[in-house]
Chains A and B, each alone.
Chain A
Amino acid sequence: MPHIDVELERLKTKLLEMWDLVEYQLQSGREAMLNADQELAKLIVKRDKKVNQYDLKIDRMCENFFALFTPVAVDLRMVLAVLKINANLERIGDTAEGIARFVQKLDSPVDSQLLELTQVLPMYEEALAMFAECRVAFISNDPKLAKALIKRDKMLNKIYRKSDAVATKFMQENPNKISEALAILSIIKKLERVGDQVTNIAEEIIFYREAKFVKHKQDKKKKKD
């Protein structure tokens, strides 16, 4: 294998390790939320430092790669994509940490009616599924799968948009559970961001494979409408 490919493989491997860790963090966040598991929440917060270390390491590896290999064409796009995916993974890691911090405020498992009404669980499942499939799209160099993921973000947005009204109603009816409802509302907001970040990563995969910019295309469409 040419030296440049060996280095690119190392970079990809490191990114995928980070990806696994962030996915684990996000899954753990779900478990912690469901069970109001303080210990697990604490662990998630602690493990975010490890995510940050990966972020720094990958940034440094990219910097070195630019300096030593002056990549062009597909190699250049690959490293640019890795840089941006890295930044998004780090943010998703922060999200998992943020969810854990909200869990730390919960005294008992979340009210099942609140879970049901807000649809936070299906939203969480979808965000996790999108995140996992995005990883598949990256590994298998599959821009089609990446494009399909971008469309799936709509479901998360839909739940997010309804959440304010749903939570308000719940709080009015259950004034003793306001802080719990606020925590779930914050988690929903964070999950909506995860959807956006997965979208960003999917856009980078398309850029890397097809040399096309797809980001901000939606904005242009909206303006035309």
Chain B
Amino acid sequence: MGKKTKLEAIDLDAYYGDFHALKSINIAMEEKAVTAFIGPSGCGKSTFLRTFNRMNDYIEGFRTEGQILIDNKDIYQKDVRVDELRKNVGMVFQKPNPFPKSIYENVVYGLKIQGVKKKSVLEEAAETSLRRAALWDEVKDKLHKSALALSGGQQQRLCIARALAISPSVLLMDEPASALDPISTAKVEELIYELKNDYTIVIVTHNMQQAGRVSDYTAFFYMGELVEFNKTKTMFTSPKDERTQNYITGRFG
């Protein structure tokens, strides 16, 4: 690939109790690029995404074998503090989940938790993050109004702003536009395209065209295996594995 590897999995296996959810995954994802995870429901793509900020740790019976590296450091080592890890690895979910607070409070929430108190620092972070999330112009006059009054698409961009406020270097997105209308989806996609200049982004999506539009690389998962990983252009024009071809052309099973 030429560029620096940001995220990496080496011989990764993951289990929910007896269920073998991820099978010997090996992948290296480029820094400041967008990688899309695609595959049918239950194929392990979300599980894999969540291993990068250890979101699965809370699930009873979940365990991993192998390594997950961010900047060449194994994040499952004992000395890794999960709160520190999550400062570096932001996450956006399928459904917008703003806190029942003001727009401003939502954005600066993470910083406040970290102990930042200075108003000027918080205000500047709020503006920068909202601008980066392409939401500033729409909300600058109502920063102290409830975030719940925003539209679904605006709420999702607010969640992206909230994730950006703590200055992560990695952004994990689990179907970030699947609950949005086409206009909001286009805005989120446009945002992803711009954010990749500064962040390493991994996005799980069920929308093939979206994967094609926003990502540089695509990984296809099936039944816990990483079947194929390649440049998105190659994946959508001449995939090597027949299972990939069947999936992306909608002929699966």
Task: Spell out A's residues near B (CB within 8 Å).
Answer: 2, 4-5, 70-77, 211
Contact = CB atoms under 8 A, between A and B. Distances in A.
A73 B228 CA distance: 14
Interface residues of B, number: 12
Contacts of A74: 245, 249
B250 interface: yes
Contacts of B212: 72
23 contacts: A2-B250, A4-B250, A5-B251, A70-B208, A70-B209, A71-B249, A72-B208, A72-B212, A72-B236, A72-B237, A72-B248, A72-B249, A73-B236, A73-B237, A73-B238, A73-B239, A73-B245, A73-B249, A74-B249, A76-B236, A77-B237, A211-B237, A211-B238
A5 B249 CA distance: 10
Contacts of A76: 236-237
Contacts of B250: 2, 4
Contacts, number: 31
Contacts of B245: 73-74
A2 B208 CA distance: 18
A75 B251 CA distance: 11
Contacts of B251: 2, 4-5
Nearest to B250: A4
Nearest to A75: B249
Contacts of B238: 73, 77, 211
Given A5-B251, A76-B237, 12 more contacts: A2-B250, A4-B250, A4-B251, A70-B208, A70-B209, A71-B249, A72-B236, A72-B249, A74-B249, A76-B236, A77-B238, A211-B238
Interface string B66-88: 00000000000000000000000
Contacts of A72: 208, 212, 236-237, 248-249
Contacts of B249: 4, 71-75
Nearest to A210: B238
Contacts of A5: 251
A38 B238 CA distance: 50
A93 to B, nearest CB: 30
A5 B245 CA distance: 14
A119 B249 CA distance: 49
A222 to B, nearest CB: 27
Interface string B238-253: 1100000100111100
Interface in B195-253: 208-209, 212, 236-239, 245, 248-251
B219 to A, nearest CB: 16
A199 to B, nearest CB: 22
A134 B240 CA distance: 26
Interface string B21-62: 000000000000000000000000000000000000000000
A7 to B, nearest CB: 12
Nearest to B238: A211
A211 B245 CA distance: 13
A4 B239 CA distance: 18
A4 B251 CA distance: 9
A73 B237 CA distance: 4
Closest A-B pairs by Cβ, 9 of them: A211-B238, A72-B236, A73-B245, A72-B248, A75-B249, A73-B239, A73-B249, A70-B209, A73-B248
A146 to B, nearest CB: 17
A2 B239 CA distance: 20
A211 B248 CA distance: 16
A72 B236 CA distance: 5
A2 B250 CA distance: 9
Nearest to B208: A72
Contacts of B236: 72-73, 76
Interface in B145-184: none
A92 B130 CA distance: 59
